[in-house]
Structure 1
Amino acid sequence: MVNKNIQRFSGVLSVVICTVLATGCGQQSRDGYQGYVEGDFVYMSTPYAGKMTNLHVRRGQEVAPHRLLFAIDATDETYAMQHAHAQYESANASLKDLKKGRRPAEINAIRAQLAQAEASAKRSDQQLARDEELFKANIISQAQIEASRAARAADQAKSEEIRSQLDSATQPARQDQIQSQEAQVQGARASYDQSQYRVQQKSVTSSVQATIVDIFYREGEWVQSNVPVIKLLPADNVKIKFFVPENDLQKVHPGQNLRLTCDGCQPGLVAVIDYVSPDSEYTPPMIYSNESRSKLVYLIEARPDKATARALRVGQPVEVLL
């Protein structure tokens, strides 16, 4: 699970930080404005507690999206997943069996019984035909012809009964039985998917390209659920904060390109303004008055490109050039 705890500075704290910079916050130097680098960190954790079995990264390392960061022991969850998978396979097999009807061996046995019954019915028909001729010739009695007719009727009824059994055996189960078993399959599948999810959550990967800023646990240590384990800083989460005085506010606007310089940095650092604060602040220890309007400053935030973001460090002073 990813817990994104964004590091924020209050307006007063931002002013204090900027004040301690070389030229002071909101004060324009000969070439630009003084600012600093800030980062919105991403904290990686897992929703399930356990012992850390593997740590795959180190501090300062650049990681790509979907890179495995660390793993928590998932022995119990793996056993539960295997059990859920077996239950799902069993429920699915039962559903297929209901849809197919009886087993082939049972159907073959019924077919053999039907063949015997049909053979008996055929003999009964032949016997009745002979007895009918003999009865017409007054060779056999009325009782004998009636017995022959009853035997044929019994054999025909037996044949029809077994034929019905065969039809039933080759048909699937009743629709309500099939629907009930389908519900069982869906429930078993949901349990299996849930168990798979639990196993997957024990192995945490990076969702974006980022730099490993800090690691709070090591292999063999017990990790509580939802507690940050690794601190990341994606390049897209790096931003530049600086302040401009009220009389320079009209010079800046969202989407404006900026140039950055800093001690020991290579040339060509750039950023784009993406936020201009609607609220003004006062550089301490000024008191609100008409005479102190020149001390009004406005917070400006800018996003550097990825190359610039990788060249900067959080908390680093920078000079912003319009």
Structure 2
Amino acid sequence: MQLPRTNSPQTCRFACLRLGFQLSGVQYQYECFCGDLIDMEGAKMISEQSCTKYRCPGDTHESCGGFDSIALYNTGLGEKFVPSVLYVAPDENRPKIRILFLLQFNGRNVRQVRRLLKLIYSPDHFYYVHVDSRQHLMYQEMKRLEELLAPIGNFRVKGDRYSTIWAGASLLQMMLSCIRDVANSDWADKWDFLVNLSESDMPVLPLSDVEAVLNKYKGHNFLRSHGYNTAKFVKKQGLEHVFVECDGRMWRIGERGPFPNGIRIDGGSDWVGLDKSFAYYAALSNETLPSALRKIFESVLLPAESFFHTVSLFLTELIIALFSLRLWREGNVGVWVYSLL
């Protein structure tokens, strides 16, 4: 990428970190490159003097590479891996896990919703339903179901409703609002995992198998990444622009200012499985990271597809950094210490 006014080792490093790369490099004064450690195979190492020929336009005290010479920096990201997916059989010896199903209905196919509920309903779990503010029939039917299940007390319909449009900011705002509602209710400490579904979803595994997976990986989050070049994903998300939701559409109103440094962006699917502690942290915490990201993602296209992913990545890398720093202070040799960006 070309950064004619702002290029510097730090600016380039933050840009590459945001895109999920392990390495950043500056060259020809204005150019910033991103890559991974695997790209270094067969690379030719040259003298430091060859990599410090040009001064950086963003910081004249720093050097930005040379002629056919790139100065490389580590962004702080560790080894990349793709976890394998294995079938987990139900285990009666494990304690029963309790799921909070966040059901997002924005259509009028009540019959389909009934099919879905037959497959996922259990008195052991909780069901919090949001119905699009424009769908009155579905809302009335869900309220009737709420009355029917009132003696059990595990099925509730959200009173304040959003007009949830695809790719709109309202979709994420609705999810965060639902999490806050549950946190302020008598359900607050009774569930372990949040799983969101819509009326067009249909499980391909029985509920017992879902319970088995979540039981085994209690304390983890299930977030589906985009699986391709992060730079293209960020462009699709429109993170470089400011969007406003109005009249059932997302409108682009201008360029976005600098994105917070030290943040890696990721995302993909807005269907998630969230650990309770993480869900509450993302929706309720007043710490700088989650509160700032909640504000930023109010003006982002497709925010529900990347908000939870981005918060989770930052926490994961922060924990690795703190753990590595602790080992280093205790005198353990050979431990990679990640930079706290």
TM-score, normalising length: structure 1: 0.17
**Which structure has the larger Rg?**
1
Give the number of the structure whose residues are more often helix, by fraction.
Answer: 1
- Which gives a bigger RCO, structure 1 or 2 (Cα 8 Å, sep 6+)? 1
TM-score, normalising length: structure 2: 0.17
